[in-house]
């Protein structure tokens, strides 16, 4: 397949067994199309960071193959690395160097001559609002600034594929929203983005495609919209004007009373909210506010992970007699 039509990333049978015998990846197959904003979700220890680590060559793989824009990493690892920018989960900047030096050096590692490297670094730092801090020791930057610095560093060589491992972990909501807007702009400029995150709200807001990984396997790989369509029911929490003492009986709806006098209503897919409002009117219940019980993707995610664990538990163990 030619480079111009090949996907941004293709993983085939990716496996990783650590020295302590832990099998972190059990044959990952994944394809990320160019220009996509792709989310890789999964619970802790599912294999997200291991996958990212292998793609960025920070972790040695035990099996499988990786292609970046059609370049097989076994054949041309350096060529594949040129196309990737990576923002790790942990802060990994040299605390004793200033931002301009850090970003310009990164450009240098990609073979960009020093003068041009400094110009590129300046451009990235200006865009990130770090130009005024260019000569400040990085250790004195705030947490949010350090994260922006890591993004600037990942962008300086103009990667076609940007990989971010939980870029908003541990930052407050305002910085998280600012990072989202930044990532959207980067993606709109044509850069493919792969994001791992714990925040399902983040994945729903940003990612057009999502893969869910659990126990070293991909349990779902589809576009976000189709994934959300798989929701069979959605649960809403309704706050009545007067706290209720028991769950209201609403025809065609399952309801549950909550401790604070509010109640939950399960609405099946395809049932309009008007029907609920009509039932509430008939029951003479005045509602002051209404909200989703959980993020929609979260409900789906938990269901898929539970399903995956159920399958793993019922699967025959290697030492069992299966005849």
Partner 1 sequence: MTNPEATEDRNPTARNPMQTLRSVSDEQRSRLSEAWVGFATTVRREVHRVVRIWPQTLLPPVISTCLYFIIFGPVLGDRIGQMQGVTYLQYVTPGLIMMAVLTNSYQNVVSSFFGAKFQHHIEEVLVSPMSSQSILLGYAVGGVFRGLVIGAVVGLVALLFADLPIVHPTLTIAVAVLTSVAFAFGGFINAMVARNFDDITIVPTFVLTPLTMLGGVFYSVNLLAEPWQTLSYANPILYMVNAFRYGILGRSDMPIALAFGVLTLFIVGFYTAALWMLRRGIGIRS
Binding site residues, partner 1, CB under 8 A: 18-19, 53, 56-60, 77-79, 81-84, 86, 88, 90, 92-96, 101-102, 105-106, 108-114, 117, 120, 123-124, 126-129, 131, 142-145, 148, 153, 155-160, 172, 174-175, 177-178, 182, 185-186, 189-191
Least separation in angstroms between residue 147's CB and partner 1 is: 10
Q: Which two tokens stand for residue 202?
A: 């983040």
CA distance 42 to 48: 7
Contacting residues for 132 by C-beta, under 8 A, at least 6 apart: none
Nearer to partner 1, 106 or 196 (CB): 106
Contacting residues for 158 by C-beta, under 8 A, at least 6 apart: none
Nearer to partner 1, 60 or 286 (CB): 60
Quickly tell me which residue has 């220890």 as its tokens: 45
Nearer to partner 1, 62 or 255 (CB): 62
Count of residues making up the chain? 323
CA distance 45 to 169: 15
Nearer to partner 1, 15 or 105 (CB): 105
Whole-Å CA distances, 136 to 25, 101, 103, 175, 319: 41, 10, 13, 21, 59
Helix (H) or strand (E) holding 67: strand 63-68
Least separation in angstroms between residue 31's CB and partner 1 is: 20
Nearer to partner 1, 92 or 288 (CB): 92
DSSP string, 51-64: HHHHHTTSS--SEE
What sign does the dihedral 268-271-273-278 (CA atoms) show?
A: negative
Least separation in angstroms between residue 5's CB and partner 1 is: 16
Least separation in angstroms between residue 99's CB and partner 1 is: 13
Are 151 and 167 in contact by the 8 Å Cβ rule? The answer is: yes
Least separation in angstroms between residue 85's CB and partner 1 is: 8
Nearer to partner 1, 48 or 220 (CB): 48
Least separation in angstroms between residue 190's CB and partner 1 is: 7
């Amino acid at each position: 397949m030619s480079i111009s039509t090949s996907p941004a990333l293709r993983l085939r049978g990716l496996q990783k067994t650590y020295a302590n015998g832990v099998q972190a990846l059990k044959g990952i197959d994944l394809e990320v199309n160019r220009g996509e904003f792709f989310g890789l979700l999964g619970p802790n220890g599912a294999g997200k960071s291991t996958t990212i680590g292998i793609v960025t060559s920070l972790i040695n793989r035990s099996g499988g193959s990786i292609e970046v824009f059609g370049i097989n990493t076994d054949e041309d690892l350096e060529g594949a690395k040129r196309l990737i920018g990576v923002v790790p989960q942990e802060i990994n900047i040299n605390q004793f160097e200033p931002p301009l030096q850090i970003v310009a050096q990164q450009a240098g590692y990609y073979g960009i001559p020093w003068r041009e490297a400094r110009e590129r670094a300046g451009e990235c730092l200006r865009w990130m609002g770090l130009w005024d801090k260019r000569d400040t020791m990085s250790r004195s930057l705030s947490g949010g600034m350090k994260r922006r610095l890591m993004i600037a560093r990942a962008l300086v060589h103009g990667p076609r594929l940007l990989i971010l491992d939980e870029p908003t972990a541990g930052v407050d909501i305002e910085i998280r929203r600012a990072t989202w807007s930044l990532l959207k702009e980067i993606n709109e400029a044509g850069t493919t983005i792969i994001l791992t995150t714990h925040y399902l709200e983040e994945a729903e807001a940003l990612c057009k495609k999502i893969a869910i990984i659990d126990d070293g396997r991909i349990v779902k790989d589809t576009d976000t919209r189709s994934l959300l369509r798989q929701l069979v029911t959605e649960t809403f929490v309704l706050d009545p004007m007067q706290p209720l003492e028991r769950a209201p009986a609403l025809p065609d709806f399952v309801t549950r009373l909550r401790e604070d006098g509010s109640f939950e209503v399960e609405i099946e897919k395809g049932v309009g909210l008007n029907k609920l409002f009509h039932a509430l009117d008939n029951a003479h219940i005045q509602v002051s506010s209404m909200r989703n019980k959980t993020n929609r993707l979260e409900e789906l995610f938990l269901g898929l992970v539970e399903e995956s664990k159920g399958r793993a538990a019922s699967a025959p163990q290697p030492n069992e007699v299966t005849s």
